[in-house]
Amino acid sequence: MALSFKPIRPLLETGTSAASKWFSYIGLCLGVLLLLCSIQMYINIRQMVVEGNMRKNGFDYVPIAKNITTEALKNPEKTLFTQPEVDELKTQPFIQDAAPLIANQFRIQLSAGSLLSFETDFFIESLKEDFIDTVPPTFKWQEGQETIPIIFSSDFFEIYTVFSAGQKLPKIPRDAAVGFSFIVNCYGNGRQQQFIGKIVALSDRVNSVLVPESFLSWANQTFDQQKPLGASRVFIKTKDANDPHLLSFLDSKHYVINKEQTILGRNKMLLQGIVTGMGIFGLIVVVLALMLFSFYLQLIIARSKDNLKLLLTLGYSPSWMSKKVSNRFLPVYIFVVLVALLLTQAIQWLFYHYIMQDKPQLSPFVHWAVGATALALILLSLFTNYRMVKNQLYKLN
Amino acid sequence: MQLVVSQLLPAYFDESVTQVSEIWGKEWAVEKNDLIKIVAPSGSGKSSLINFLYGLRTDYTGMISYSGKDLSHFSPEQLAGYRKDHISIVFQDMRLFADETAALNLEIKRQLNPYHPPEKIKEMAERLGIDSRLSFKCSTCSYGEQQRIAIIRSLLQPFDILLLDEPFSHLDNNNSEKAMQLILEETRARNASIIYADLERSEIFPYTRIYHL
């Protein structure tokens, strides 16, 4: 038959005040609540900032350009990125990769054929496929192929929709845009050639008209034959577009990055600072509450010293007693942490629903890391109590 | 099991006591079924000896070994096991939980390593005439009653050696005899030994060996 703690229990109930007990419970609950809320808010901020950018495989892909000043206008080459500058970008620790947007160096005209009286000069660009968010398998071109697959910017498509109404051009629904064809005429170097441009995908990330790199390098050589010019825009691949090191590096080089994509980052630092401060405060409260619990336990041990000493004299094992005495508080710890967790969940739901207006990047439920922290707190408090009680009992022995 | 005592002397005693004592500074051992009587006048270190043998104190020179292991090197867990399974004691000062009932005091010891079923408590209490006191707090019991509770407590566990430190100091002859009878029965049932320490030579304990402290 297992050794029962039941006959031992009354030996420890020696004059502990209910008020001090509840005071420590409430203190612990508030501390845990602060800590859990801080972790959840930290995660919320991260999710809002990270999800705000165009991420692929956990990376941000953002275009940068050179700051165009009036002086630079006199010297247009200075607004373009040279190859050493692109290489320098690649060597930065906070930039995983960089790829220039290569533009056409010859004249391109786009028309809708005989169906519509629409003709315009246009531009195309190419970019390393890894940097494009939507690359269908049809985005390939080989010499001799008449059809050029095109990835069209979603933003440009929106502009067309607005523009088409005034120009009496047909409206094209977004779904039907993929598969839409038009005629592309290339001129230069005394030659002219007609191709069929076919939209194979829309891109939310790249504001351009993208063609396969193989086509543009062939076309630039065929219709221009001059030395390739630099790129006016370079896409960078980074773990965090809001990384302060990246932002200060770009500022020092007078490179321009999309302000909207980094404004959150600049605010993020401030917000994370506040939330971290809140978390540290919560942690201090938790430590204080745990200390209070520990003192409370020490008080019980001090008050029951004679009884505990006699139990050890009779042959009770100090480990067994430590386990039993510290486990007495397990239901209290679980209850306190569960209450704090439920309150955190309620706060998260209110935050999601009323403050963030059901923002899709956020979840109405607490993150798993918050639950894991709550569990870790229970285990930590049990472990520290067990160690403390055991040390005290060994001293009595 | 064998309890071997070698050159034992309390750290606070003068070496000269070894010349007159049959215990201090000598070699002796406790064998199975030994009934050892130790006659010890006041101040001769009777309770110190009992505490040393029970592993409660280590402020001595020399060595006490149990089953070949030095008692002073026992860990707190090993000491707990020693007291739970191998050695039992009746303290001179009883050492009961004063604010708890006699029944709870006995159950706390019995459940630690149940040698007897719970009913045995009542049976022993009846034999020693304290069954009506079982539901009373020990603090309300007389010294004589408390001593009998302490005696029953010592008999509720398995043991190889039973240490008795003036176990009948508060009992009349009739109650002492009844208690001695019960102790001897329980000790024989376990093939165990007794070390009985008292102030003076008394005929109530049928010793097989006698030492003067």
Q: What is the mean pLDDT of residues A262-290?
A: 72
Q: What is the pLDDT of residue B96?
A: 95
> In degrees, to the nearest 5, what angle opens at C-alpha A327 toward C-alphas A326 and A329?
80
- CB contact, 8 Å: B146 with chain A? no
Q: How many CB pairs below 8 Å do chains A and B form together?
A: 52
User: What's residue A78's pLDDT?
Assistant: 76
The domain ranges of chain B are 3-212
Task: Tell whether B76 lies on the interface with A, counting CB pairs under 8 A.
Answer: yes
Beta strands in B51-126 (DSSP E): 60-66, 69-70, 87-90
Mean pLDDT of chain B: 93
**So where are chain A's domains?**
9-53+265-396, 55-258
In angstroms, rounded to a whole number, what is the distance separating the alpha carbons of residues A192 and A201?
Answer: 27
CATH, domain range B3-212: 3.40.50.300
> Residue ranges of chain B with pLDDT lower than 50?
none
**Between A176 and A194, the higher pLDDT residue:** A194
Answer yes or no: is pLDDT of A356 > 90.
Answer: no
Q: How many CA atoms lie within 13 A of B104 on its CB side?
A: 19
ipTM value > 0.90:
yes
| Residues of chain A that touch chain B, judged by Cβ-Cβ distance less than 8 Å | 1, 3-4, 7-8, 10-11, 307, 310-319, 393-394, 397
Q: Is B158 on the interface with A (CB under 8 A)?
A: no
Q: Do B114 and A1 touch (CB under 8 A)?
A: yes
List of long-range contacts for B19-22, beta carbons under 8 Å, 24+ apart: B21/B212, B21/B213, B22/B211, B22/B212, B22/B213
CB contact under 8 A, A313 and B76: no
Distance between CA A352 and CA A335 in Å, rounded? 25
C-alpha neighbours within 13 Å on the C-beta side of residue B19: 3
Q: Is the model's pLDDT at A13 over the cut of 80?
A: no
- Nearest residue in chain B measured CA to CA from A309: B95
Cross-chain Cβ contact A314/B108 below 8 Å: yes
Residue A326's alpha-carbon distances to A12, A86, A289, A305, in angstroms, are: 12, 62, 16, 16
List of residues 6+ apart from A112 with CB closer than 8 A: A118, A119, A182, A183
CA distance linking residue A283 with residue A276, whole number of Å? 10
B108 contacts chain A (CB < 8 A): yes
Q: What is the torsion angle, in degrees rounded to the nearest 10, for the CA atoms of residue B5, residue B10, residue B14 and residue B20?
A: -40
Q: How confident is the model at residue A279 (pLDDT cuts 50, 70, 90)?
A: confident
Out of A222-236, A356-370, B108-122, the most confident range is: B108-122
Scanning every residue of chain A, which has its alpha carbon at the shortest distance from the alpha carbon of B58?
A397
Cβ A397–B114 below 8 Å, yes or no?
no
Choose among B83, B97, B100: nearest Cβ to A315.
Answer: B83
Helix (H, G, I), strand (E, B) or coil at A9: helix
Residue of A nearest to B78 (CA): A317
Interface contact B83-A317, CB threshold 8 A: no
Query: Which residue of chain B has the CA closest to A304?
Result: B97
On the question of pLDDT at A56 being above 80, the answer is no
Tens digits of per-residue pLDDT, A301-333?
888 888 999 999 999 999 998 888 888 778 888
Beta strands in chain B (DSSP E): 3-10, 27-30, 35-39, 60-66, 69-70, 87-90, 161-165, 193-198, 209-212
